[in-house]
Every structure is written in structure tokens, then in C-alpha cells.
Amino acid sequence: MIKLFNTLTRKKELFKPLKKEVVSMYHCGPTVYDYAHIGNIRPYIFADILRRTFEYNDFEVKQIINITDVGHLTSDEDEGADKVELAAEREKKGVREIAQKYTDQFIKDLGQLNINTEQTTFPKASEHISEQIALIKELEDKDYTYITSDGVYFDTSKFEGYEKLGKLNVEQLREGARVVKNPEKKNPSDFALWRFSPKTEKRHQEWDSPWGRGFPGWHIECSAMSMLYLGETFDIHTGGIDHIPVHHTNEIAQSEGATGKPFVNYWMHNEFITVDGKKMAKSLGNIITVEDIARKGVIPLAYRYWLLQAHYRTRVNFTWEALEAAQNALHKLYEQYFALQSGGEISETYQKKFTEYINDDLDTPQALALTWQLLKDDTVPPEDKRATLVSFDKVLGFNLDVYKPAEIPKQVLALSEKRESARKEEDWEKADKLRKDIEELGYTIEDTNKGPKIKPLNS
């Protein structure tokens, strides 16, 4: 029994898949015009936990993350320049090259966070132009469209229930709560399906269409590609909460307008990551990338750990201190796991609780707390703890089995032995001096009743 919070109803609902054993999911992917920041990556850690939760419950998962390499303008509302074309000019490279560079980087980032993409399909918008044109034609045949001097638009007043996902106030929309820059639009919420190329300049990417040469609007790619790969109705569609009022609202209008069938059964959205209380965003100049984390000497998986401490529908504020604390906790988890013998059995009591938590709308904070509870529980034999942690890690994805404790350099071991002799001779001054020498090499010594324990500093 899996319960998921559905944005459509604003309630936790029992998940009922369309097919008995297969779940179909579509996640709005990146616009590949720059490095993704860790806020941009949150949606995919969330999607990864969702995928792993279904697999934990013995479902097969069909998963799509699209790559937006054309049509996303600098404003989400059909204004401004194409982000990927702008990047090509900024970096003096071809559009394809730019798109490939940032797609590769994105997939590398996902790998560093142990996001499982082996079976994920990453379709590109620029490679699905004919499907997008076919969908626009379908909408035109059904009289949902009109043509202006710069493109083909969707008339949102003709689609009943346009406001349903965003619980938008239609009156406000009609009166122009959104700033209308295009006087040819019939309603402020209308959006472009196809844009004509400017007459005076040649775009890097443009195609012929029944309406004239140009390129697709940003929203149509997600409707066309999700329905191509997953069918006209599929189970789950996800994205950041900013997608609710515009992008996903428009996807529903286009898809349901064309097919007359429900598009998606469960809409799920993650909250933002903030810095000093403000959304992490390129435009605010407060972004941090996965590479920045690695450069600071923090392991990228610490970001995954930090994020899982909060529920995906909770807004979280990023600080380096919090990330370092997460890294300490993760190292502690690795060390404790490593010290356990193998050959045990999964504790059914703990597995049952774990499943209850993750199946309750992905309650990762509770699942993490349970992990520490298990480690402290003296009634569970160590080898069973290990087997149970291996099972939890299928969902949490900390890569427990890849961890090896850092090897202590010989020089540090030699100094530690000298320090032990000095301590035996009660030469405290010498012992202290040797401790400092060891610290200068990046290690610290903890004196335990089993002898000295050497650890890397900051671990």
C-alpha cells in the first residue's frame, strides 16, 4: 500500500497503478543551457526515491526525463530569447555542442548523487519535432488554437478546467494578473504552441511546419514526449512546485484537449531549496553546483543525505555547516556499517517499519531516523543489522557497499607508535608534540580503551 500526495486533489491518496505491476513516470527535465545547481537537482533525487520506493515494492518502473534543448525562453511565459541559443552565443559554440555539454554534465551530476538512471530514457525536444507538430495539428483540428503574428497559440478559455491543477483564480487570470506583453493574446494565460522564426534573423534551430518555419513552444514537448513514451494516460508526473501554475497546467490543457482522456493520475511536486531564505536561482546569483561541493572536499552524497533529512514537500535552507554536518553523519553511518559482519538476516520488524515510512508519501526523515535507531538497538545481532541496512540502502541510495575506510598513511602510523611509546614513558610533552605532527598531516587521534584510533580530520 503506497500513499502519495497528489497536487490535483491536495490530498494523500492510495496509489493505484494503471497496469498491475508497472509504474509509468515522467519528470520534467533540465533546460541544457548552463550547469544545473543543487536546487535544480532536488527534483531528480525526489524522483529517484520515488523510483526506488516502487522497486522496493516490487513494481517495474518506466521512467522518462526529458532534455529541453529548444524552445524554453528566458521567461516561462513566452517572452524573451531561447535559453539554449543565448548560451551558444555566450560561449561561441554550436547549439548542439552546448546542449550536449550540459546534458553530459547533468547526467554526471546525477551519477555522483547515486541517482539510478540505467533504465531511464532521456528524450530530447529537438529530436521530437514531428510528434510536437502532430499534437498541435490535433489541437488545431479541435479548434483550440489561433494564430498571431508570432506564432500558434492555445486558447485557454476553450479548455474547461484549465485552472484545476493550480487552483488558479480564472477571473484574476482573465483580468490580467499576469503582465500581458503580447496584445495579440486573447487571454493572458494563453500560451505558444509554435513560434515563428523572426523574419530578420536566422535561428540556430528551426523547422518547417504547416504554419511556417519556426520552433516549438516550451510546454508542448512534455505533452508530446510523455504520451509518445508512456501512453495518453500514465501514472505519475513530477516537477518543482514552480511548474504547477504554468507549465504543468498547460501540459494538461494540451494533452487532454487533444486526446479527450485524463493525462496523468498523480501529479507530484517538490519544494524549493533556499539560501538565506531566498530560492536558489541563477538569476539571484546564489547557486551551488555538485562540482562546487566536490571542490570544497565534501562528498556529493552528503548532499543526498542532507536532502533526505527533509521531506520532499518541505522547503529547506542550504548552509555549508548543515552540509558538513550531513557529511559527518554519513561518514559515521559508513564506519558503523563497515564494522558489522555479514551473513545475517533482514530484521522483519525494522523492514516493516521502513516500508511503512517510505510508502507514506516518501517519508525519508523517518526512514533515516529508523536507520540510526536500528544501529543503536542491542536486541538486533550485528550481522542482522548489516543485512537490514543493505535492504534500506536500496531506497536511501548511500552506496554503503562502495565505502572503504580511508587508508592511514604509514608516516602517520609511525608517528602514532612513537606517541604511544612516549605515553608509556609518561613523556607528555613529547606525546603532545607528536599529536600536533599527526594533525599537521590531516589526521587526529582519539585515545580509546582499545588503544589509539586514528581518523582523518573533519570526518
Is 240 one of the binding residues for ligand AMP (CB under 6 A)? yes
Which of 31, 27, 32, 40 lies closest to 290 in space, CA to CA?
A: 40
Q: Which three cell numbers stand for residue 2?
A: 503506497
The least CB distance from residue 383 to Zn ion, in Å, is 46
Is 217 one of the binding residues for ligand AMP (CB under 6 A)? no
The one among 13, 138, 206, 242 contacting ligand AMP by CB under 6 A: 242
Task: Pick the piece of the chain touching Zn ion (CB under 5 A) from 20-28, 82-90, 344-352, 423-431.
Answer: 20-28
279 binds, among Zn ion, ligand AMP, none (CB under 5 to 8 A by kind): ligand AMP
DSSP 32: S
The one among 62, 243, 248, 385 contacting ligand AMP by CB under 6 A: 243
Q: Closer to ligand AMP by CB, 98 or 434: give it.
A: 98
Question: What is the contact mask toward Zn ion in residues 194 to 233, using x (rule: CB under 5 A)?
Answer: ----------------------------x-----------
Is 40 one of the binding residues for ligand AMP (CB under 6 A)? yes
Q: What does DSSP say about strands 214-216 and 264-270: parallel, antiparallel, or unpaired?
A: unpaired
Q: How far apart, in whole angstroms, are the C-alpha atoms of residue 151 and residue 53? A: 42
DSSP 80: S
Segment 260 to 279, residues that bind ligand AMP, using CB under 6 A: 272-273, 279
Length of the chain: 459
Query: Rg of the Cα trace of the chain?
Result: 26
The least CB distance from residue 99 to ligand AMP, in Å, is 14
The least CB distance from residue 345 to Zn ion, in Å, is 44
Which of 219, 319, 222, 315 lies closest to 270 in space, CA to CA?
A: 315
Q: How far apart, in whole angstroms, are the C-alpha atoms of residue 196 and residue 443? A: 63
Is 25 one of the binding residues for Zn ion (CB under 5 A)? no
Distances (CA, A) of 154 to 138, 185, 212, 229, 244: 12, 9, 17, 23, 18
Q: How far apart, in whole angstroms, are the C-alpha atoms of residue 330 and residue 387? A: 18
188 binds, among ligand AMP, Zn ion, none (CB under 5 to 8 A by kind): none
Say if residues 177 and 193 touch (Cβ distance below 8 Å): no
Task: Pick the piece of the chain touching ligand AMP (CB under 6 A) from 34-42, 150-158, 255-263, 395-403.
Answer: 34-42
Q: Which three cell numbers stand for residue 271?
A: 519544494
The site for Zn ion (CB under 5 A) is made up of: 28, 222
The site for ligand AMP (CB under 6 A) is made up of: 28, 30-31, 39-40, 42-43, 239-240, 242-243, 272-273, 279-281
